[in-house]
Amino acid sequence: MESKEMVLVIDFGGQYNQLVARRVRECNVYCEITSYRTPIEKIKAMSPKGIILTGGPSSCYEEGAATCSPELFELGIPVLGLCYGAQLMMHMLGGKVERASVREYGKTEVSVRTDSPLFTGITGDDDHDPTAELSHEATTICWMSHFDYISKIAPGFEVVAHTSGCPVAAAQDKSRGLYAIQFHPEVLHTVEGTRILNNFVKNICNCEGTWRMDSFVTNAVEEIKGKVGDGRVLLALSGGVDSSVAAALLSKAIGEQLTCVFVDHGLMRKDEGDEVEEVFGERGDFELNFVRVNAAERYYEKLRGVTEPEQKRKIIGEEFIRIFEEESHKIGAVDFLAQGTIYPDVVESGLGGESAVIKSHHNVGGLPEHVDFKDIIEPLRNLFKDEVRKVGLELGLPAKLVFRQPFPGPGLGVRIVGEVTADKVRIVQDADAIYREEIAKAAGEGEAPNWMPDQYFAAITNMRSVGVMGDERTYDYAIALRAVKTVDFMTAEAAPIPWEVLQKVMSRIIGEVRGVNRVLYDLSSKPASTIEFE
């Protein structure tokens, strides 16, 4: 499955590190992230064709700052330092980095030398910069975000870009294959960012760019076949994007040697259980054994009277493991347990890059202890979410499933504040279906409007209040509409959905969903609120 040519991103803890790796992969070059703590011997053993040092949160000259082995610059492998990475390169090789009097932040006009292999092909708008003295100079907009600046380049380097406030926006030592860029080419605000990264990986590292999703599928299928042989594989299918794509890929590789257990806990979105069955069940297009367990009643029973959010989550997770174990006992011993782990899960759990955030709440109940298997198989372990989606489409999964919004493992359990009951599940499912339908309608086809949320859903509050319907007094629930704009789901802002769209959603929910007499729009940011309600 691994493509032979690989670029290594060394993670110093900055916020854009995963983005750098994704952008490199968009150049069809396979890319992995590793922590700056990775020993140099291990880096050499990975034999990357290029190395990228990323941003970091501190100053490189401070004591205890993240650093790397000086040998990294002597391997004969091209190195590109970005932001902190650029400063660190200069600092370690004899240049000088200092605190600037003002922070340079935001879209900035940068003059670049187009005879640098990094900036080949940038034409910019020369009329823009009347001070351009060099014939090979162009101006282009880049994204800057730095307090420190490179005040002196290291011996052997030459300056190949600058801004009005930053004397060294980029520097190079072509003979050693070392390049440093102060701005962020990985961020979309940098107009020529993709070209710059493409120049680095193709022209400087000499990568061919053969990493593609169709070749991923072909190679992954071969690899799975080789690993599994005539063994049996068990997969817990949640109906989410990752486990669905894993199921489709495994099905293509090993057909009926795969059994998927789909536990419908009764906390899915409206009709979602049936949609999963349509795709993977007997009438679907995939060759596999599909087991659907309708466990809604069992869950509602377990959750009766439970109001504490962590306890609810725990019950939902544990019950899932229990049901999965029961089913697996019916199936008997299997050789492999498959999981839909994807690359950000690997990085975020501290295994790939530097990020120490362990999203333990995402592994709903952990691994089942009482399932008899020899090994774990994770066919999507090296892919980013957008790549997983491409693989899903490539394998023929419906777009509706492939482009599903993130949905928490405990499902509607965390969108029903307080006790979970079948009636509250019905209310939140119906309200949410209306909300999603109206947002999709308002967003239309083609390019998404600016207000388009990255995640949105209805939740049912635990508040009942007085209303009036016809001549009758009502005492019903309030539905909260949540919609957020976010990049990483760690911080988020409420999305500015147009008023008339919200009004339409409100009037349909109150008119069509029995048991609701109030609709609220949640304005809170994360932090201090979370995206989900529990």
Residue that is written with structure tokens 């690997």 in the block: 346
| Interface segment toward ligand XMP; rule CB under 6 A; list 19-27, 55-63, 401-409, 499-507 | 401-409
User: What's the half-sphere exposure (Cβ side, CA atoms, 13 Å) at 527?
Assistant: 1
Residues 129, 137 contacting (CB under 8 angstroms): yes
521 is a site residue for ligand XMP (CB under 6 A): no
Going by their DSSP bridges, the two strands 50-53 and 6-11 should be labelled as: parallel
Interaction between residue 289 and ligand XMP (CB under 6 A):
no
Q: What is the DSSP string of 420-456?
A: --HHHHHHHHHHHHHHHHHHHHHH-SSSPPTT--SEE
The least CB distance from residue 366 to ligand XMP, in Å, is 12
User: Catalytic one among 91, 146, 162, 184?
Assistant: 184
| Contacting residue, 50, 78, 408, 453, with ligand XMP by CB under 6 A | 408
H runs (alpha helix) in 282-398: 296-303, 309-331, 343-348, 385-394
Instruction: Examine residue 117 and tell whether it contacts ligand XMP (CB under 6 A).
Output: no
Burial degree of 404 (CB within 10 A; 0-12, 13-18, 19+)? middle
Q: Which stretch binds ligand XMP (CB under 6 A): 281-289, 347-355, 406-414, 441-449?
A: 406-414
Task: State how far the Cα of 105 lies from the Cα of 284, in Å rounded to an integer.
Answer: 52
Q: Say how far apart CA 341 and CA 77 lie, in whole Å.
A: 31
- Quick check: 321 binds ligand XMP (CB under 6 A)? no
Closest separation between CB of residue 325 and ligand XMP, Å? 20
Residue 506 to residue 479: CA distance in whole angstroms: 9
Sign of the torsion formed by the C-alpha atoms of 14, 18, 23 and 25: positive
* Nearer Cβ to ligand XMP (188/487): 487
Angstrom distances, CA of residue 347 to CA of 16, 36, 354: 13, 13, 8
Query: Number of helices (H) and strands (E), helices first, in the chain?
Result: 14, 18
Nearer to ligand XMP, 376 or 490 (CB): 490
Of 455, 467, 522, 524, the residue at the interface with ligand XMP (CB under 6 A) is: 455
**Contact mark string toward ligand XMP, 331..370, x via CB under 6 A:** ------------------------------xx-x------
231 binds ligand XMP (CB under 6 A): no
Q: Count CB atoms within 10 A of the CB of residue 175.
A: 7
343 vs 33: CA distance, rounded Å: 10
Q: How many residues bind ligand XMP (CB under 6 A)?
A: 13
524 binds ligand XMP (CB under 6 A): no
Q: Please tell me which residue in 27, 83, 166, 205 is annotated as part of the active site.
A: 83
- The residue range among 39-47, 213-221, 324-332, 404-412 that interacts with ligand XMP, by the rule CB under 6 A, is 404-412
Q: Considering beta carbons, is residue 253 or 531 the nearer one to ligand XMP?
A: 531
Asked if 182 and 86 touch (Cβ cutoff 8 Å), the reply is yes
Q: Is 531 in the site for ligand XMP (CB under 6 A)?
A: yes
Answer for which of 55, 353, 368, 409 binds ligand XMP (CB under 6 A) is: 409
Stretch that binds ligand XMP, among 8-16, 161-169, 220-228, 523-531 (CB under 6 A): 523-531
Nearest to 253 by CA among 219, 210, 292: 219
451 binds ligand XMP (CB under 6 A): no
Distance in Å, CB of 233 to ligand XMP, minimum:
22
CA distance 250 to 234: 10
Pick the stretch among 65-73, 242-250, 374-382, 402-410 that binds ligand XMP (CB under 6 A).
402-410
Active-site residue among 186, 192, 348, 354? 186
186 is an active site residue: yes
184 is catalytic: yes
Looking at residue 492, the DSSP 8-state letter turns out to be B
> Which stretches of the chain bind ligand XMP, using CB under 6 A?
361-362, 364, 406, 408-410, 455, 489, 526, 530-532
Annotated active-site positions, please?
83, 184, 186
